[in-house]
Amino acid sequence: MSLWDKLCSSQNKQSSSAISPPQNPITPPSQIHVRDIFTDTAFLLKDQQVQTIFDVGANRGDFTNEYVHSFPDAKIHCFEPNPATVDALKNRFKEYPQVTINNVAVSNIEGVADFCCNNESPTDSLLQPAPQWREWVDGKRDSLLLTSRIQVKTVTLDKYCQDQSIEDIDILKIDTQGAELLVLEGASGLLQKMAIRVIIAELVFVPVYNGQPYFYEVCTRLADYGYCLVNLYDCRYDDDSALQLKWADGVFINRNWKFK
């Protein structure tokens, strides 16, 4: 007798109700609904007048491009340290006066820092690539191959908002290739005041950069300020087994903020 038959037999002794095996208890991966981070962010803020968006680690501006259309009345502040990438960013949004582009790195202190420029600009970081990065990133493309180091200006979000007379941020997106905690440390004042409604942060589960925080460290830091994880998006898995989660974008909101 199978385990299910034994369970049914036992339950039938206690109840006259018919018991049927569960239908499709596991959903095949091909049928799992893939959520869209931009649609869900807009839903979270549907009752808010979105006025201020920060794109930290803007790179080519893909997030900003979505938000200029989703929230056309919002002022968007982009932060990108690589001068070459900034030129492309400025050209892309030259027809959008609501977009401000800052050629700086966001960190936990104001000053100057070394910035690692890699073979592919989306992997540029304040941190150096970890020795084992090829185990998790496509080594054939040499994505994280360090090509040069430059010095860049660093700012904190607390100081930037003070200088710009910004009191609240509706969406803070952070994709800084391992420097997420540095960004949050420089925004401690805003976080303590709960002045940020939605935070989107890249979460890393495997070693890619030296000194990077792992996903649980970012989640713990945000939990300390009262933020909880809503969902994960754009999850990337290892190429071999497709089981190991490498990185994903996490959406966080303050746990005291009710939404329907």
The reported pLDDT for the residue numbered 34 is: 66
The reported pLDDT for the residue numbered 18 is: 45
Domain 32-254 has CATH 3.40.50.150: yes
The reported pLDDT for the residue numbered 249 is: 95
- Residue 102 identity (one-letter amino acid): N
The reported pLDDT for the residue numbered 45 is: 92
The reported pLDDT for the residue numbered 20 is: 46
The reported pLDDT for the residue numbered 139 is: 57
Q: pLDDT in tens for each of the 260 residues of the chain?
A: 443 343 344 444 444 444 444 444 444 444 445 689 999 999 999 988 999 999 999 999 999 999 999 999 999 999 999 999 999 999 999 999 999 999 999 999 999 999 999 888 888 898 888 888 887 887 556 887 888 999 999 999 999 999 999 999 999 999 999 899 999 999 999 999 999 999 999 999 998 889 999 999 999 999 999 999 999 999 988 876 678 899 999 999 987 765 54
The reported pLDDT for the residue numbered 181 is: 96
